Amino acid sequence: AFQIADDVLDYVGDADRLGKPTLNDMKRGVLTLPALLLAWDRGLADRTRLPDSLPADELERLIHAVVEGGYVERALDLAREYADSAWESVADLVQGAHADALRALTRFALERVD
């Protein structure tokens, strides 16, 4: 869930607040979950990287398609599902302060996107 939230922040986060540049993965040619969801929907499931020489205007169109196409929201929905599933899996195993800390970490990972 944390990694997916980080992937989402690469598209919608504020660089100053994050302390790192946004869209960095995409500019390096790395497809994170939001872009992978777009690729899968378009029948390009075998793509994991962008071509090294992708022109800037094509990169901008791709970023726009990811954000405006709802793929950021879909990725965030998956992060929430994974977090919920993880909690269901360990709910009986982790108790007390340790459980509270794990819940807080999970909430932090997801809430920093909102």
Per residue in 20-55, pLDDT (tens digit) is 888 888 888 888 899 999 988 988 767 666 776 678
How far apart (Å, rounded) are the C-alpha atoms in residues 112 and 114? 6
> In angstroms, rounded to a whole number, what is the distance separating the alpha carbons of residues 99 and 73?
27
pTM for the full predicted model: 0.79
pLDDT per position as a tens digit, 58-111: 888 988 999 999 999 999 999 999 988 888 777 777 778 887 888 888 888 788
At 16, which CATH number?
Answer: 1.10.600.10
How far from chain centre, in Å, is Cα 1? 8
How many whole angstroms separate alpha carbon 9 and alpha carbon 4? 9
Structural domain for 24, as ranges: 2-111
Q: Say how far apart CA 82 and CA 71 lie, in whole Å.
A: 16
What total of structural domains would you count in the chain? Answer: 1
